[in-house]
Amino acid sequence: MAQETRTAIVTGSARGIGAAVAKRLASDGYKVAVLDLDEAACADTVEAIKAAGGEALAVGANVADEDSVAAAVERIAAELGAPTVLVNNAGIIRDNMLFKMSVDDWDSVMAVHLRGAFLMSRACQKHMVDAKFGRIVNLSSTSALGNRGQANYSAAKAGMQGFTKTLAIELGKFGVTANAIAPGFIETDMTAGTAARVGVPYEDFKKAAASQIPVNRIGQPEDIAHTASFFASEGAGFVSGQVVYVAGGPKD
């Protein structure tokens, strides 16, 4: 629980893991900026937070665009308060084998994950440094370890880990921690989309994934939200620069 009412930004929180993280942080007591490309798409998450008694603001912004990020963070600071918790969750996939991967497939994945996390972190860090408190949580993936068809995404998600460790080193003396969560198979529109693309019914796809996972189930967005809640918490101030694989079993 935040000692005072802090403001958190969760990017890509219209749905999926981002929505679960936004709801969890709101129930932990933060004011939450629900940020996604399309402001109208944030309504469900915002309504769910408000219905549960929390405070939330829908913000439409493109994390890969410098001006859009600057305007969004300024608006959030003015309307909700200085953001001192940032969860860089916004992400896309453009899976393809290397020999068929277009430059646009490469650039768009890099732009959302890496440029997006960079721009959002840079815009928020001054509020964190001023407050002498900050929590940055970056979403990596088990794909960072390599995954067929994901040269772009795995490079971006490995990049998120290096980015996280450097932020931890640079910002630690200002009371700011940076950590990464690397989810395994999580039940979201993203994995449902992959099943559809490879032509496997989602139920079968999930069963096949679960059979490879030591805890014998696939993950839920709430599994990731729980870990984000820990990293954001006051008591996690001595945990920084870490990557936690939340994948139902060991990964390295």
Q: Is 197 an interacting residue with respect to ligand CAA (CB under 6 A)?
A: yes
The reply to whether 30 belongs to the active site is: no
Minimum CB distance to ligand CAA, residue 245 (Å): 11
Minimum CB distance to ligand CAA, residue 197 (Å): 6
Minimum CB distance to ligand CAA, residue 60 (Å): 24
**Cβ neighbours of residue 40 closer than 8 Å, sequence gap 6 or more:** 58, 60
**Cβ neighbours of residue 135 closer than 8 Å, sequence gap 6 or more:** 84, 85, 86, 176, 177, 231, 232, 233, 236
Q: Are 153 and 109 in contact (CB under 8 A)?
A: yes
Name the residue among 248, 28, 44 with its Cα closest to residue 137: 28
Query: How far apart are alpha carbons 248 and 252 in whole angstroms?
Result: 13
Q: Is 227 an interacting residue with respect to ligand CAA (CB under 6 A)?
A: no
Looking at 88-96, 109-117, 165-173, 229-237, which segment touches ligand CAA (CB under 6 A)?
Answer: 88-96
Query: How far apart are alpha carbons 129 and 62 in whole angstroms?
Result: 24
Q: Is 95 an interacting residue with respect to ligand CAA (CB under 6 A)?
A: yes
* Residue 138 identity: N
Minimum CB distance to ligand CAA, residue 196 (Å): 10
Name the residue among 130, 142, 132, 183 with its Cα closest to residue 12: 183
Q: Is 99 an interacting residue with respect to ligand CAA (CB under 6 A)?
A: yes
Query: How far apart are alpha carbons 219 and 12 in whole angstroms?
Result: 18
Residues in binding contact with ligand CAA, number by CB under 6 A: 20
Q: Contact with ligand CAA (CB under 6 A): which of 198, 201, 204, 215? A: 198
Minimum CB distance to ligand CAA, residue 110 (Å): 15
Window 117-156: residues binding ligand CAA (CB under 6 A): 141-143, 147-150, 153
By beta carbon distance, the residue nearest ligand CAA is 149
Q: Contact with ligand CAA (CB under 6 A): which of 45, 164, 191, 229? A: 191
Q: Are 47 and 53 in contact (CB under 8 A)?
A: no
Which residues here bind ligand CAA, judged by CB under 6 A? 93, 95-99, 141-143, 147-150, 153, 183, 190-191, 194, 197-198
Active site residues: 153
